[in-house]
Amino acid sequence: MNYWLMKSEPDVFGIDDLKRVKKEPWDGVRNYQARNFMRDEMKKGDLVLFYHSNSKPAGIAGLMEISKESHPDHTCWDKKSKYYDPKSTKENPRWFMVEVKYKKKFKEILSLETIKNTKALSTMKIVQKGNRLSITPVTKKEFDYVLKLAES
C-alpha cells in the first residue's frame, strides 16, 4: 500500500465538496510526473492526504482513498474543456486520472506553517524548495505522523 498527497484549490474543489459528492474523478492533471504516479503507481485502496493550495491557511485538510485505478482522462478529448489537448487521441491517450473517495475531514487544517515547523515532517516533498508537483508520494512514517498531528 502506498501513500500520497494531492493538491487542489478549495475555491475550485475542496474537502467539503468531496464530502458532499463522496467520490470524484481527479481530472485535469496535465503534468507528466503527476500523471505517471496516477497511471503507474496508484492502487485502489491507497490513502491520500488532501492538500488545500492557494487558500488560507494552505495545508492538509483531510483524507481520501483511491477508489478507482487509472483510466484515460476524457476531458482531454472535450474541445470545450479547458483541459482539452488535441495531441491526446483515443488510440493513444496522453492523460490519465484516478477516482478518489472521501474518508475524513480533519477538525482543523494541518497548516503548511505547522508542517514546516515539524521536524518529523521536514522530509515531505511539499516543504522542499521548488516542488510544485500536484501529486507527490508520502512515506508511511510521514503519513502516520500527519494523522497523529491532525487527530490531536
Among positions 28-87, residues that touch DNA (CB under 7 A) are: 30-33, 53-55, 58
| 131: contact with DNA by CB under 7 A | yes
| 7: contact with DNA by CB under 7 A | yes
Q: Which of 64, 134, 143, 146 binds DNA (CB under 7 A)?
A: 134
Q: Which three cell numbers stand for residue 31?
A: 503534468
Q: What are residue 96's DSSP bridge partners?
A: 72
Q: Which residue type, as a one-letter code, is found at position 76?
A: C
Q: What distance in Å separates the CA atoms of residue 50 and residue 38, rounded to the nearest whole number?
A: 15
Q: Give the binding range for DNA (CB under 7 A) out of 16-24, 65-73, 96-104, 130-138.
A: 130-138
Among candidate residues 69, 42, 44, 67, the one with its CA nearest the CA of residue 137: 42
Closest contact distance (angstroms) between CB of 148 and DNA is: 22
- For residue 74, count CB atoms less than 10 angstroms from its CB and return exposed for 0-12, middle for 13-18, buried for 19 or more: middle
Q: Give the binding range for DNA (CB under 7 A) out of 10-18, 27-35, 65-73, 139-147.
A: 27-35
Q: Which of 20, 79, 80, 129 binds DNA (CB under 7 A)?
A: 129
